[in-house]
Amino acid sequence: MEERLDFTEGNGLLIAVDSNSRSTTWHDSQTNKRRTILEEYTMNRNFHIMNEESDQTTFQSRRGSSNLDVTIVNNQLLNALQNWEISAEESCSDHNIIKFDFRQDTYRDTEYSYTGYRYVVTDGN
């Protein structure tokens, strides 16, 4: 993972991960011990979790549903990723489809240096 991060340094980075961890940080109804690793990793790298609250969950099976899938971006993509949503479309999987848009006009020229978890709701156009 570190080699990939070094390769993309200075560029926009999006990580879409089936984390198998549960946390209220990414709008799951519960938390488990695995969440600590991912939460600390994203915070230490100044990454941002883009999951938004939804009536849908990212994962559904006969045993239940949860938000195991996490969308993570670095500072360069923080303002560019918009309209994150869990789709109601059939996915042919126990994981639901996640959709989002990129604002290309903000990708290259905007970099944020926030630490921790913050949501930019008034910045930009």
Predicted confidence at residue 6, as pLDDT, reads 87
pLDDT band at 111 (very low <50, low <70, confident <90, very high): low
Instruction: Give the pLDDT band of residue 80 (cuts 50, 70, 90).
Output: very high
Determine the average pLDDT of the residues in 11-20: 94
Q: Is pLDDT above 60 for 11?
A: yes
- DSSP character string of the chain: -HHHHHHTTTS--EEEEE-----GGGT-S---THHHHHHHHHHHTT-EE-----SS-SEEETTEEE--EEEEE-GGGTTTEEEEEE--S--SSSBPPEEEEE-HHHHTT------SS---SSS--
Spatial CA neighbour of 117 closest among 77, 81, 72? 72
pLDDT digits (tens, 9 = 90+) for 39-60: 999 999 999 999 999 999 999 9
Residue-level pLDDT at 78: 93
Q: What is the average pLDDT value for the chain, to the nearest integer? A: 87
* pLDDT for residue 114 is more than 60: no
Q: What is the pTM of this model?
A: 0.79
The mean pLDDT of 69-76, rounded to a whole number, is: 95
Q: Which pLDDT belongs to residue 120?
A: 59
Q: Which domains does the chain have, with CATH numbers?
A: 2-107 (3.60.10.10)
* Bridge partners for 86 per DSSP: 98
% of the chain surpassing 70 pLDDT: 83
